[in-house]
Amino acid sequence: MPLPRNSAEPKTSSSASNPASTPTPTNSSPPPTKTKNSASPSPPAPPSKAARRVVELPNLRLIGLHCHVGSQVFDAEGFSLAAERILKLYRTIIEECEVGEEFNILNLGGGYGIAYVEGEQPLDVEAVSTDLLQRVNTYAERLHLTMPFIKVEPGRAIAGPSTVTVYTVGTVKDVTIDGGKTRRYISVDGGMGDNIRPALYGAEYDIRLVNRSTDAPLIPTRVVGSHCESGDILINDRNLPEDIRPGDIVALAATGAYCYSMSSRYNMMMRPAIVSVGAADDKAHLMVRRETLEDFFNLEPNLRPGRRRKAQPTTTHQGSTKP
């Protein structure tokens, strides 16, 4: 099992696995002053102590170690550095704890970067994995260890590029912004409910007009969703064809990772369907159906069709009743 981690730890690089990524403090606040009612924090326990505790518990089995380098990593060197350091911990645990032969797994995590916008180059997963195995083997021999079983988590690298999200254009309007410039606003029939990443942490995507070709000039454009939120922005600032009109279809690329899994019924918007287009038979297959109003009603027993309560009559001041 992986060693315990702080559940509040962000998915960015941690100093434990990549000290080069440790953020530099941006303020000059002095350290807190110690008073008679305060105490210095205890240093964190060494990982080997946590491993020893796991080994002592009868209902747990320690079978390996796990590390997390970061997310959207494009520098392959970080994975090798993490592998070298976790192998040293792996050896320490073998030496200090009574682990059995089942302690033989190193999970080196994921975070392999993919291309979201033009100009980005995805990490070559095959090349990284080949290099990583060679380096782990070299490190293991240097530390006199039997080569452990290596696991990785290339989820985004597999799922991300496999999917595009298709939207229908609704309202198109021009808005005057600072300096007297004009920005085109395009609203679509989706947004932060099906893709929260741009609103949550400024993720960027490539967007294209896909239902027709055009030679129209490109103009500054912002693509927004239909969730009635000022932060519901899918594309913050991009040059798009000037002739995009209501009814056109636009698509965001590389939406296969962290979109559906993070989707919601924000402001009671219904989530879209997921369709697989088979390369073998050139046919579309429904993987996840579109949500409907019936799905909403099914969560509220008294609102289900056929079970809805009849309106109770109310009495007027004349004593008569109306439904």
Give CA–CA dist 279/89, Å, rounded.
Answer: 45
Distance CA 152, CA 126 (A): 12
Give the integer Cα–Cα distance in Å for 72 and 232: 23
- CA nearest 109: which of 72, 142, 134, 137? 72
State how far the alpha carbon of 64 is from the alpha carbons of 29, 59, 67, 101, 277, in Å: 40, 16, 10, 10, 38
Within its chain, how far is the Cα of 263 from the centroid?
11
- CA terminus-to-terminus distance, the chain: 62
| Cα 238–chain centre separation | 23
- Enter the DSSP assignment of 163: -
Task: Say if CB 221 and CB 235 are below 8 A apart.
Answer: yes
Residue 205 tokens, joined: 């995507």
Torsion angle, alpha carbons of 84, 88, 89, 90, to 10: 90
Q: Quickly tell me which residue has 């609103």 as its tokens.
A: 199
The 3-state DSSP class for residue 318 equals coil
Q: Which of 67, 97, 228, 259 is catalytic?
A: 228
- Cα–Cα distance between 309 and 291 in angstroms, integer? 24
Torsion of CA 76, 81, 83, 86, to 10 degrees: -150
Known catalytic residue at 259: no
Residue positions annotated with a catalytic role: 228
